[in-house]
Structures are given as structure tokens and as C-alpha cells.
């Protein structure tokens, strides 16, 4: 589904990401772990082309992503960040944002179903200003799912949440990945989270991939 | 021409300089007052005042020579003013490549269009003695609007990088992701001009009106004409703010819809 080829990014003299080659298949969760400043976020941002690779590329279903229009690419490769960054307005308006960009109306039944899926039934008309951190992050996930992505990128999606909301978001991600068979890459600094969610784990250090393999083995050896 | 110049360097010039000295003393007192509250503007105020005085003396001398020159000369003077205005406004955008040209186009689009329209409808005379002072008011306000809109737009973008990238990540057009910030930047740049219109006649009567009455125009006509000028100032500022932000918008994104204006970039380049 998703494949990187020598994917690299250099800013001035700094090599943020160096020659990374990985593959993620449909329905699989790959965790990216590593110390702070290792380049985990920088790597993830290359996958939906929020930043430009200075070398190498990404293949989406075997197609070089440089040949896909950025808007279409980002619909297919959804991303949820550390903080939700919701748009001012209602929960429903946030959820239908993606389809609206393609002039597609989103049936309210679909919004209702999505909200139910992320455990926020009845939240459609709420103002996003009054949501808790965990609720906001669920809306962010639902907003990304409204685009029917093939790949789901998550950058420390639970690090800003309190303990009680973490498991809820994790179960949501896990369920959605299995149901919709999306390829998922999740950045986390939390080894237990990687162990709970990921099929495989890769370790980044100073922009380089130093290890990749089954989560149990990688975390056991490290 | 020379005799004309001589006449104007007379007793009234000496009196003018004395008045300027008095104004500077008063400003110095205010600067001292600011300093008392730890607001330090001495250096900036001294430089600004020195520049302002020298520039105005120079302009006075040029006007004395060219008082009744052709439309061509007047246009050249206004063009030079627009270039100077672009330099001043672009200083607020330090670190952004092409800022000078961006400001010039924005100011020229706003002030140039409005001045040309006023000339074409004969609501502005081609006579330098009127064209230059009225034109300069319009250009100065366009400059102000340009600087304010551009600065505000940049600050809003830098403060909302997360929202903007969230929008891009959901497949939004770059223009859509910054639309609210463009609106608030242009609106903010127009506020001082809107206030000017509201306070017209109540707390503020533009200087040109006095000049018109001195040279024999009826007070009612002079008053209405002042309104026309201030309304044109608002129009010019609006065009300038819009053009400045729209041009900026195309530079803060790459061709692959990536936000390239980032906080780190500012700190390394300014
Ligand atoms: N645009 C940039 N220009 C220069 N350096 C950058 C840029 N973006 C990130 N960096 C640097 O690259 C390194 C990797 O950053 P990145 O955010 O990818 O790390 P990370 O692994 O996600 O860290 P964390 O766990 O703290 O989130 C850091 O040292 C960061 O300062
Ligand atoms: Mg990070």
C-alpha cells in the first residue's frame, strides 16, 4: 500500500531524515519510535508531502506520489497530529470539511454514523470550543476518516491526552485500521503504546532507521 | 524659477524653522515622559524627526521650483513616492524574499488606480500643487495599509500553522486554509481608515481644506471635497491590502501546496 524509497530530507546542513526504505500493507500498523529529535515527525510529514523530500520518494499503491495532485494525495493519506487543531465552529462542520473541499455534501446520516464510531454520538451540533482534549482528538480522527483515506498517519495522537482518554483513542485507531483495512503509521514515544497497537515497529535515531521488525522483538532487544 | 525659490526662502521660512524647533522640543518632552515609564523611543523618535524635517524641507524646495510643472513631472514625483513607500512598508516583512516588489505592486495598484481614476474624472487636478499633496496622502495611507495587512497576515499564519496544516492534510486548497487570516488582515488594515471617515469633521479636518478656502473655494465645496479624498484613501487602502495579502498568499505556499513560511524560518533569517 505505502512504500518509501530512500526517503530523505535535508534542511541546510542538517539531515533530518536519511534514506528510509519501508513498506506498510493494508490493515497493518507500523509504529515509529525513537528519542526526541530523532526525526519521527519529520519522517511522517514526508509521507503526505506536507514537507518535500530532498531525495527519494513515496509510492502509494505503486504510484510515485509526485505524480499525484497534492490535494488528492492528502485525501488518500490522512494525518492526525499531536493536537487536534479543529477549525472554529461545530463538530459536524469539522467532520464534513474534507468532503466539502471536493464540493461533496456529506449526508447527516454519515456524520452521525462516524460520530457514533468514534464514541461521540450526539456531538454533531456542539461547538468545538467546549470539547475536552480526548473528545477533540476523536473529532480529529473522525474528520480524517470522513475522507475515506487509504493510509492513516498519526503523530503522537495521545501524548496530549490524560490517561483515561488514551485507551479510548487507541481502541478507536485499532478498530478503524482493521475494519477499513487502511495502512497506518503511528509515531509514539511510548513503548507500551507501540506494544499495544503495532504489528511492526521501526526505530529512528538521528534520522536513520536503525531497526525494524515485529514489535515484540524490536522492543525486547532495545 | 530661481527668483521663485528665493522668494520662498524668506522670513516665513525662518518662522517655520522656529515652529519646527518648538515642535521638536515638545516631542522630546513626550519622549522623556515615555522613558519615565520605561518605554524607550528616544533613538527611533530622534531619527524619525530628523528624517521627517529634512525630507519636508527638501519637498518644499522641490515644490517651489516645480509648482506649476506638467502632469508628467507630477506623475514622476508620485512614482518616486510609491517606491519610497514600498521600501518603508517592506521593512515590516524582513526576511521574506521579494517583499519590496510585493509592496510596490500593492501600493501602486491601490494608490495608482485611485489617483488615475480621480484624474480621469477630473476630481483631481493635474496641477502639481494639488496633485502631489493629495496623491501623497493617498500613497501614505496605502503604504500604511500595506504594512499593516502584510504584517498581520504573516503573524496570523505563524500563529496558526497547526490549523493551516490540518486543513492541507484534509485536502484543502492552500487559499482556503488561510482565508480567515487574509480576511482579518485586510480588515485590520482598513480600520484606521474607517475611523478616519467616521471622525471626519468631528475630530479631524484635513489640511487641504484650509488651503482650498484660502485660495477662494466655498467652504461647503471644500468640505465635500475633503470627504471625497478620504473616501478615495479608503478605496486605495482596500485595494492595496487585498493585493498585498493575495500576493503574499502565493509566496507562503510551495507549488506542491506546502506551507513554507514557518516560525523557524523567521528566526533564522531575521
Ligand atoms: N524545518 C526544520 N529546519 C531545521 N531543523 C528542523 C526542522 N524541522 C525539524 N528540525 C529538527 O530536526 C530534528 C528532528 O525533528 P522532529 O520533530 O522530526 O523530531 P521528533 O523525532 O519528532 O522529536 P519529538 O519526539 O520531540 O517530537 C530536530 O532536531 C528538529 O529541531
Ligand atoms: Mg515529533
Cell of A136: 477533540
CA distances from residue B150 to B153, B156, B250 in whole angstroms, order as listed:
5, 10, 13
Please indicate whether residue A38, judged by its CB atom, sits closer than 6 Å to ligand 1.
yes
- Domain-by-domain residue ranges, chain B? 1-66, 70-267
Residue scoring higher pLDDT (B100 or B73): B100
Q: Answer whether A52 contacts ligand 1 (Cβ < 6 A).
A: no
Write down the pLDDT at residue B177. Answer: 96
Residue B268: its pLDDT value, please?
A: 39
Q: How far is the CA of A81 from the centre of ligand 1 (A)?
A: 15
Task: Yes or no: say if A32 and A17 are a contact pair by the CB < 8 Å rule.
Answer: no
Domain boundaries, chain A: 2-221
Is the pLDDT assigned to residue B85 strictly greater than 80? Answer: yes
Enumerate residues 6+ apart whose C-beta is below 8 A from A172: A117, A118, A119, A138, A141
B171/A143 CB distance under 8 A: no
B10-53 confidence digits (pLDDT tens): 778 888 888 889 998 988 888 888 888 888 888 888 898 899 99
pLDDT (0 to 100) of residue B202: 79
Instruction: State the pLDDT at residue B267.
Output: 41
- All residues of chain A having their beta carbon less than 8 Å from the beta carbon of residue B256 are 49, 52, 70
pLDDT digits (tens, 9 = 90+) for A29-53: 999 999 999 999 999 999 999 999 9
Residue B172 corresponds to which cell in the numbers above? 484543502
Chain A to chain B, count of Cβ pairs less than 8 Å apart?
Answer: 63
Of A218-222, B89-93, B209-213, B224-228, the least confident: B209-213
> Average pLDDT of A116-122?
90
**What does pLDDT average to over chain B?**
86
pTM for this prediction: 0.84
- Range of lowest pLDDT (A28-37, B105-114, B147-156, B197-206): B197-206
CB–CB of B162 and A102 under 8 A? no
Whole-number pLDDT of residue B215: 75
Decide if B171 and A147 are in contact by the 8 Å CB cutoff.
yes
pLDDT averaged over every residue in chain A = 94
Q: Residue whose CA is closest, atom 29 of ligand 1? A: A37
Res B264 pLDDT > 70: no
Q: For ligand 1, is residue B268 a contact (CB within 6 Å)?
A: no
Q: Does residue A207 have its Cβ closer than 6 Å to ligand 1?
A: no
Q: Which residue of B has its CA nearest to A82?
A: B162
Report the C-alpha gap between A164 and A100 in whole angstroms: 33
Residue A136, pLDDT score? 94
Q: Mean pLDDT lowest for which of A52-66, A130-144, B123-137, B212-226?
A: B212-226
Q: Is A181 left (phi over 0), alpha (psi -120 to 50) or beta?
A: left
- What pLDDT shows up at residue B14? 83
CATH of region A2-221, choose from 3.40.50.300, 3.30.300.30, 2.60.120.380, 3.30.470.20: 3.40.50.300
pLDDT for residue B204 is more than 80:
no
Which residue blocks in A118-162 are alpha helix, DSSP H? 133-145
Query: Looking at residue B155, what is its pLDDT?
Result: 94
| The pLDDT of residue A187 | 96
B171 and A52: CB-CB below 8 Å?
no
> Is residue B7 pLDDT above 60, yes or no?
no
Out of A117-121, B71-75, B84-88, B139-143, least confident range: B71-75
Q: What is the model's pLDDT at position B67?
A: 67
> In ligand 1, which atom is closest to the CA atom of A43?
18
How sure is the predictor about B2, in pLDDT bands with cuts at 50, 70 and 90?
very low
Select from A202, A197, A198, A200 the least CA-distant residue to A167: A197
Cα of B243 from ligand 2 centre, angstroms: 36
User: Is pLDDT above 90 for B236?
Assistant: yes
Q: Is A70 in the pocket of ligand 1 (CB under 6 A)?
A: no
Q: Whose CA is nearest to atom 10 of ligand 1?
A: A16
Residue range A51-79: mean pLDDT, rounded: 96
Q: Give the residue from chain B lying closest to A73, CA to CA.
A: B171
CA of A39 to the centre of ligand 1 (A): 5
Using a CB-CB cut-off of 8 Å, the residues of chain B touching A101 are 170-173, 176
Task: Give pLDDT, residue B216.
Answer: 76
A33 lines ligand 1 (CB under 6 A): no
**Of residues B23, B154, B169, B162, the one with CA closest to residue B89:** B154
Q: What one-character DSSP code corresponds to residue B38?
A: T
- Please state whether B266 falls in left (phi above 0), alpha (psi between -120 and 50) or beta: alpha
- Measured CA angle at A168 (ends A163, A170), to 5 deg: 95
A197, pLDDT greater than 70: yes
Query: Residue A97 and residue B167: Cβ atoms within 8 Å?
Result: yes
Supply the pLDDT for residue B68: 63
Residues of B in contact with A144 (CB under 8 A): 169-170
More confident: B66 or B196: B196
Amino acid at each position: 500500500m505505502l512504500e518509501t524509497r530512500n526517503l530523505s530530507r535535508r534542511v541546510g546542513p542538517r539531515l533530518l531524515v536519511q534514506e528510509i526504505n519501508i513498506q506498510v500493507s493494508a490493515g497493518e500498523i507500523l509504529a515509529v519510535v525513537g528519542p526526541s529529535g530523532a526525526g519521527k515527525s519529520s519522517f511522517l510529514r514526508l509521507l503526505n508531502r506536507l514537507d518535500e523530500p530532498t531525495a527519494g520518494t513515496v509510492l502509494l499503491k505503486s504510484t510515485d506520489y509526485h505524480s499525484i495532485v497534492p490535494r488528492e494525495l492528502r485525501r488518500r493519506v490522512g494525518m492526525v497530529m499531536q493536537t487536534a487543531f479543529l477549525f472554529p465552529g461545530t463538530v459536524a462542520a469539522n467532520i464534513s470539511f474534507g468532503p466539502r473541499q471536493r464540493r461533496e455534501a456529506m449526508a447527516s446520516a454519515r456524520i452521525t454514523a462516524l460520530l457514533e464510531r468514534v464514541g461521540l454520538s450526539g456531538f454533531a451540533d456542539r461547538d468545538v470550543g467546549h470539547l475536552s482534549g480526548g473528545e477533540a482528538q476523536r473529532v480529529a480522527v473522525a474528520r480524517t476518516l470522513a475522507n475515506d483515506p487509504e493510509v492513516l498517519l498519526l503523530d503522537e495522537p495521545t501524548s496530549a491526552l490524560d490517561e483515561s482518554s488514551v485507551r479510548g483513542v487507541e481502541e478507536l485507531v485499532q478498530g478503524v485500521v482493521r475494519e477499513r483495512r487502511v495502512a497506518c503509521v503511528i509515531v509514539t514515544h511510548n513503548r507500551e503504546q507501540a506494544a499495544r497497537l503495532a504489528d511492526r515497529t521501526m526505530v529512528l535515531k538521528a534520522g536513520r532507521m536503525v531497526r525494524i521488525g515485529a514489535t515484540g522483538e524490536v522492543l525486547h532487544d532495545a | 524659477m530661481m527668483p521663485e525659490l528665493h522668494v520662498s526662502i524668506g522670513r516665513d521660512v525662518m518662522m517655520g524653522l522656529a515652529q519646527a524647533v518648538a515642535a521638536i522640543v515638545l516631542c522630546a518632552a513626550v519622549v522623556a515622559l515615555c522613558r519615565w515609564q520605561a518605554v524607550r523611543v528616544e533613538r527611533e523618535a530622534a531619527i524619525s524627526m530628523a528624517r521627517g524635517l529634512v525630507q519636508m524641507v527638501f519637498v518644499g524646495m522641490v515644490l517651489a521650483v516645480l509648482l506649476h510643472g506638467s502632469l508628467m513631472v507630477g506623475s514622476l514625483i508620485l512614482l518616486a513616492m510609491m517606491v519610497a513607500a514600498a521600501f518603508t512598508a517592506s521593512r515590516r516583512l524582513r526576511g521574506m524574499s521579494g517583499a519590496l516588489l510585493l509592496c510596490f505592486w500593492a501600493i501602486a495598484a491601490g494608490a495608482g488606480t485611485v489617483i488615475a481614476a480621480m484624474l480621469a474624472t477630473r476630481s483631481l487636478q493635474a496641477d502639481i500643487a494639488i496633485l502631489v499633496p493629495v496623491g501623497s496622502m493617498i500613497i501614505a495611507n496605502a503604504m500604511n495599509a500595506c504594512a499593516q495587512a502584510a504584517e498581520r497576515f504573516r503573524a496570523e499564519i505563524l500563529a496558526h500553522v497547526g490549523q493551516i496544516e490540518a486543513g492541507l492534510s484534509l485536502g484543502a486548497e492552500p487559499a482556503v486554509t488561510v482565508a480567515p487570516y487574509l480576511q482579518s488582515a485586510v480588515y485590520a488594515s482598513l480600520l484606521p481608515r474607517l475611523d478616519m471617515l467616521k471622525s471626519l469633521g468631528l475630530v479631524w479636518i484635513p489640511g487641504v481644506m484650509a488651503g482650498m478656502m484660502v485660495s477662494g473655494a466655498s467652504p461647503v465645496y471644500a468640505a465635500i471635497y475633503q470627504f471625497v479624498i478620504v473616501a478615495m484613501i479608503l478605496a486605495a487602502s482596500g485595494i492595496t491590502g487585498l493585493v498585498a495579502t493575495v500576493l503574499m498568499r502565493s509566496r507562503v505556499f510551495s507549488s506542491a501546496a506546502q506551507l513554507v513560511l514557518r516560525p523557524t524560518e523567521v528566526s533564522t533569517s531575521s
